[in-house]
Amino acid sequence: MSRGEYRTNDMLSSKWRDMNLKVRKFNGIYSQKWQTRRSGQSDAMIEREAEEQYREEFNAHFSLERIFVEKILRVQPNVKRLYLLVRAADAKSALQRFNNEAVAKDLFNVLKEKYGANLHSFLSEKVTPVAGDITHENLGVKDSSLIQEMWGNIDVVVNVAATTNFDERYDVALALNTFGAKNVLNFASKCFKLKLLLHVSTAYVAGEKAGLILETPYHLGEALNDAHGLDINVEKKIVEERLKELSFDDTATDQSITLAMKDLGIERANKFGWPNTYVFTKALGEMILGHLKGNIPLVILRPTIITSTYKEPFPGWIEGIRTIDSLAVGYGKGRLSCFLGDPESVIDVIPADMVVNAMIATMASHANQASCEIIYHVGSSVSNPLKYKTIQKSGYDYFSKHPWINKDGKPVIVSKVKVLDSMASFQRYFSFHYLLPLQGLHVVNSALCHAFNGTYTNLKRKTNFVQRVVELYKPYVFSKSFYDDTNTQKLSELVKENKVEADMFYFDPRALKWDTYFEHTHIPGAVKHVFK
């Protein structure tokens, strides 16, 4: 198949109707790896390996996996079994994590109402949490009989594993986002009945490219800035050598080692044209899959910024603070003095349930397509563009009507804040509010024999933090990218051929009215599930 080509034919359309999305088996792994089986003898596995400490900012994957599992269990009760890879010490701990971090959440309320006292019996029949870790061979699963069972049953592998922290430690990001993807591919290749490997990536593997970003793959060694020398194995050696150097440094602390590895990730990403470690290592993961997949049918799904659910299992469910939500939290609590971003810029977001529906649709459409390789952008910037100013206005409208009540029991009155619509305006604001006070404090501190060392160090730390955060998020708040969704729209039209399935597996962003969604769904959801 050529780059960007989409296979639409009568066979695909009839297969969708005949399958009717009867997911019979679903084997997933909570260590960021989950899978799904459909139509009689299908098994699937969903994969999830994101570390708990990175559930904030753009980290939507942890939530996405649970929404995916909840949806399968809710709409396909005939599912055979889901193997959920969970980072845990043993099977008992894996089950406990699944119950505490998935079933106990509000997300599962609809299932709780449906099954009542029989819920745990239903789940024990359908779900097997498996202790493992995708950074290891065979996904870290130590039970040999269980591995053989999975290899014999699984037919669709869905990989959602990622650490999404923009400036993650390079060793951690490379292990999860790049070589973790390779481990998933190797595991999938041993599944006798394998019909599809679905890899959830991110649209932002395109970096800071402006204009229309096509649904095309990246090839091994391909840099965004045409730089030469990008070699994934070399990157691994660079990490190993840097860690070895740090291990011999007697002055190195855990904190300094972490910072050094974070800086190394940004440095290597920038060298080849990517803005941060997250998208760089995700791009490398895509390259490995494309290069090593052989005859394995591969679909890569690239969502944009994932927001709260639009409809299911109920509107507004969200977990963890993402970029947009951190703005809402700060603004609603009266802690935000300005917005950084061009009000006219298009910011690409997509509700989580739409991403999950697109995942299920790709599984239904592409299983059994020998050696297929296709990319889907799941976003809104082309089909239904959202401007940054719409989010700002929705936040003002919501909190004006529903003010946050602070710890003193008083409502926080919001006002329209200053908008810094360019980096030049930010630099002026930053210099006046941060750099000048820091310089003044430095002079005073020196004159008074360092009496204000603690205050100065604290302010300097905050200043450095603001600079780092702005550099990390600058590509997104001033984005000039538009993500082509031609393949995704064709898939959506295919789903719409069946009215029942169209209502159940919606993912067309044109159905969204952005101001209504943010004011009446997303922001209220963030207030309920995220604000503390």
What CATH number does residue 186 fall under?
3.40.50.720
Q: Which one from 278, 376, 483, 517 is the annotated catalytic residue?
A: 278
Are 171 and 243 within 8 A, CB to CB? yes
Q: What are the residues facing 45 on neighbouring strands? A: 34, 157
**403 belongs to a structural domain:** no
Number of domains in the chain: 1
364 vs 37: CA distance, rounded Å: 10
Q: pLDDT value at position 17? A: 41
Q: What are the residues facing 338 on neighbouring strands? A: 418
**396 belongs to a structural domain:** no
Q: CA-based angle 261:264:269, to the nearest 5?
A: 130
Are 162 and 61 within 8 A, CB to CB? yes
Q: pLDDT value at position 463? A: 77
Q: pLDDT value at position 189? A: 96
**407 belongs to a structural domain:** no
CA atoms within 13 A on the CB side of 298: 28
Tens digits of per-residue pLDDT, 24-83?
A: 333 433 234 333 333 333 444 433 332 222 233 333 455 899 999 999 999 988 888 888
For residue 463, what is the enclosing H or E element?
Answer: helix 453-477
Q: At what angle do helices 179-189 and 277-292 cross, to 10 degrees?
A: 30
Residue 474 known to be catalytic: no
**416 belongs to a structural domain:** no
pLDDT average per 10 residues of sequence, the chain (532 residues): 36 40 37 35 38 32 84 88 89 94 94 96 93 94 95 91 90 97 96 94 96 97 95 98 95 95 97 96 98 95 96 92 73 81 92 97 85 92 96 93 92 87 86 84 79 79 75 80 97 88 93 97 91 74
Q: Which two tokens stand for residue 90?
A: 């043993």
**530 belongs to a structural domain:** no
Q: pLDDT value at position 322? A: 67
**422 belongs to a structural domain:** no
Residue 331 known to be catalytic: no
Q: Is 264 left (phi over 0), alpha (psi -120 to 50) or beta?
A: alpha
Are 32 and 158 within 8 A, CB to CB? no
136 vs 140: CA distance, rounded Å: 5
3 vs 18: CA distance, rounded Å: 29
Quote the pTM value: 0.86
Q: What are the residues facing 482 on neighbouring strands? A: 212
Q: Domain span at residue 282?
A: 10-232+269-321+348-384+480-521
Q: Rounded to the nearest 10 degrees, how much is the dihedral formed by the CA atoms of 159, 347, 218, 262?
A: -70
Q: Which long-range contacts (CB under 8 A, 24 or more apart) does 397-405 make?
A: 397/515, 397/519, 398/332, 398/518, 398/519, 398/523, 398/524, 399/331, 399/332, 399/523, 402/524, 402/527, 403/332, 404/332, 404/333, 404/334, 404/527, 404/531
Q: Which two tokens stand for residue 331?
A: 């603004």
Are 61 and 160 within 8 A, CB to CB? yes
**473 belongs to a structural domain:** no
**62 belongs to a structural domain:** yes
